[in-house]
Amino acid sequence: MLTKKLSEVEKSIPQMQGAEGVHKQVPLSVKDGVPVFSFRVFTIAPGGHTPYHQHPFEHMNYVIEGSGVLVSADKEHELNKGDFALVLPDEMHQFRNTGKSDLVIICAVPKEYE
């Protein structure tokens, strides 16, 4: 068993072309012995966004704080604290912070893609 405090997990700036105002933390990963999924936490500053991109794996997301939108190929889906979002493999998507405070999202991905 393992417990961690998010406040003690190192923050990094993801090297993703098209990202703006994004910090990433990885509190649970292969390094911790996870068997299936890794947890990543993205903090997106007001006006910031992840790249508009796709990848061959799903990810499950939970909004811890803030508000924003999840942009898909045909729509913007409103996101608020307490909301869940599923992005399926190969779906184009982008998270945008449309609020006035940080948008903080937990993102679960297969451990190979942390």
- Residue 112 confidence (pLDDT) above 90: no
What's 64's domain CATH number?
2.60.120.10
State the residue range of the domain holding 79.
13-113
| Model confidence at 51: pLDDT above 80 | yes
DSSP state of 90: T
Residue 1 lies in a domain: no
Mean pLDDT in residue range 8-30: 94
Q: How does DSSP assign 34-69, residue by residue?
A: -SSEEEEEEEEEEEEE--SB--SS-EEEEEEE-EEE
Give a yes or no: residue 4 inside a domain: no
Decide if 63 is inside a domain: yes
Indicate whether 2 belongs to any domain.
Answer: no
Residue 6 lies in a domain: no
Model confidence at 114: pLDDT above 80: no
Domain total in the chain = 1
Q: What per-residue confidence (pLDDT) applies to 98?
A: 97
| pLDDT value at 65 more than 80 | yes
State the pLDDT confidence band at 45, using cuts at 50, 70 and 90: very high
Over range 29-57, report the average pLDDT: 95
Q: Are 95 and 70 in contact (CB under 8 A)?
A: yes
Model-level pTM? Answer: 0.93
Q: What percent of the chain has pLDDT over 70?
A: 100
Cα–Cα distance, 107 to 113 (Å, whole number): 11
Distance from C-alpha of 100 to C-alpha of 24, rounded to nearest angstrom: 19
**Within a domain: 64:** yes
* Alpha-carbon gap, residue 48 to 66, rounded angstroms: 12
7 is a domain residue: no
